[in-house]
A and B are shown apart, each in its own frame.
Chain A
Amino acid sequence: MRTLLENLKERFPLGPITEQRPDLVFVTVERSGLRPLLAHLRDREGFTHLVLLTAVDWIEENLFQLTYLVHDRRRGRDIGLRVLVPRDAAEMETIHDLWPTAATYQRELREMFGIGFPGSPRVDEEFILEGWVDLPPYRRDFDTKAFAEEAFAHRPGRETHDPATHMRERLTAQGRAK
């Protein structure tokens, strides 16, 4: 893994590197550098398949982090590439021609996060949701509880407790005395 990273550093501009486990590394890359890097990993370094492609919403920094995790079957190692895209112009180039399976992930991201992948097959079709009219649900600013309360009929009588206060009241002598 070390030699791989040394090799990559010579050829590509790499951002911060996190060595999570001996067989798992996360690297931040520039948006434009992603595609050549993925092609290099696939064709020259033996990374065989895309394990997952997902997004993380860093709403405080107004960024979406896309994570491309690729796996090397022979040597049993993974590398995760992080790409940051701005939240208000969320768009990324498609990689379905490198790995056709990415098209499915891109469809999901398009629907659940509202990140556009122009050129990806069937990307604008409905994937999981049907007739969705609100914000893309995996965005942090979409409040699922408020949405559920408003959209669905509820059976009265359901109580919920905040676990911390509930336990304090039930389990401590102070709380029981109250």
Chain B
Amino acid sequence: MQQDDVVEPRVPVKDELKKRTVKGPDGFEFEVDPIHDYYCDARPEVRPGSYLKIVEDLFNWARSESLWILGFGTGCGAIEMRPLMTPRFDAYRYGIQWRPTPRQANLFVISGYLSVKTLKRVIRSYEQMQNPKYVVGLGSCTVNGGMYWDSYNTIKKLDEYLPVDVYVTGCMPRPEALLAGFEELKRIIRAGKGEGANLYAKNFDWYKANQKRVIHDWDMPDYNW
């Protein structure tokens, strides 16, 4: 990304993100610009599918059978994740499991309302996940704001900011509803329509513009992979 594309944030940059001179253990002094030195900020690319449809179908079948959820409870829906991990509802039998880091996960369950502050972390976590990746919006508040339709701090429409594959409505959705949502997501993936990551790459500028409209102190690179 070009240096001059960086939008000047409306809020002053935090101290730890300013350029500074650091002295290494060997006495050598060098300058660090955290935003540009600490991240890889190459733009995302659209990944074409396989040349052969049968191979792509095989891949999609495999993808749909191993949905690994990022363990990030962004909102109140996280409380129904715990029953899903335990024997009564047992999502593991569908190949669904929870992972502690974005690098190991390919499904992001946005569990409920997203405050602007969390949205920023969600974007970073989402961008760090490996392709192909999927997003499930959980709860009415991700669809249209739900209970918090007039709140000054929660976003109202998740698909403005991230490509959403499936919405599960309810406040709060039951574990069974979540399992049904995961089944729906599997059907979508098997049909070859789980193209969220490519959609994000294709409409990257649109998503970024939307994100920057609500996140006023944008102090990270545009794509921090």
Q: Do chains A and B touch in the complex (CB under 8 A)?
A: yes
Chain B contacts for A144, CB-based, 8 A? 150-152
Interface pair B216/A147, CB less than 8 Å apart = no
B88 to chain A, nearest CB (A): 34
Q: Which residue of B lies closest to A153 (CB)?
A: B160
CA distance A67 to B143 in the complex (A): 38
Q: Are A133 and B11 in contact (CB under 8 A)?
A: yes
Q: A132-B216, A148-B149, A148-B156 are in contact. Are A155 and B143 (CB under 8 A)?
A: yes
Closest to A152 in B: B156
> Is A178 interfacial (CB-CB < 8 Å)?
no
A145 within 8 A of B: yes
Q: Among the listed B153, B157, B216, which residue makes an inter-chain contact with A155, where contact means beta carbons less than 8 Å apart?
A: B157
Q: With A and B bound together, what is the CA distance between A144 and B152 in angstroms?
A: 5
B104 contacts partner chain A, Cβ-Cβ < 8 Å? no
* A129-B151 Cα distance, complex, nearest whole Å: 13
Q: In the bound complex, do residue A133 and residue B150 qualify as a contact, i.e. CB atoms below 8 Å apart?
A: no
Complex: how many Å from CA A132 to CA B215?
9
Interface residue tally for chain B (C-beta within 8 Å): 24
Give A142 to B153 CA distance when docked, in angstroms. 13
* Interface residues of A, count at CB 8 A: 21
CB distance from B169 to the nearest CB of A (A): 12
Q: Is A16 an interface residue (CB 8 A)?
A: no
A160 to chain B, nearest CB (A): 8
- Enumerate chain B residues within 8 angstroms of A151, measured Cβ to Cβ: 152, 213-214
Once bound together, how far apart are the Cα atoms of A15 and B213, in whole Å?
48
- A153 close to B157 (CB less than 8 A): yes
Q: CA of A156 to CA of B186 in the docked complex: distance in angstroms?
A: 28
Using a CB–CB cutoff of 8 Å, the interface residues on chain B facing chain A are 9-11, 116-117, 120, 143-145, 149-153, 155-157, 160, 210, 213-217
Write the residues of chain A forming the contact surface with B, with a CB cutoff of 8 angstroms. 128-134, 137, 142, 144-145, 147-148, 151-155, 157-158, 160
Return 26 A-B CB contacts under 8 Å, by A number. A128-B117, A129-B117, A130-B116, A130-B117, A131-B217, A133-B216, A144-B150, A147-B152, A148-B145, A148-B150, A148-B151, A148-B152, A151-B152, A151-B214, A152-B155, A152-B214, A153-B155, A153-B160, A153-B210, A154-B145, A154-B156, A155-B143, A155-B145, A155-B157, A158-B144, A158-B145
Given A131-B9, A131-B215, A157-B144, 18 additional A-B pairs, CB 8 A:
A128-B117, A129-B153, A130-B217, A132-B216, A133-B10, A133-B11, A133-B216, A148-B149, A148-B150, A151-B152, A151-B214, A152-B157, A152-B214, A155-B144, A155-B156, A155-B157, A158-B144, A160-B149
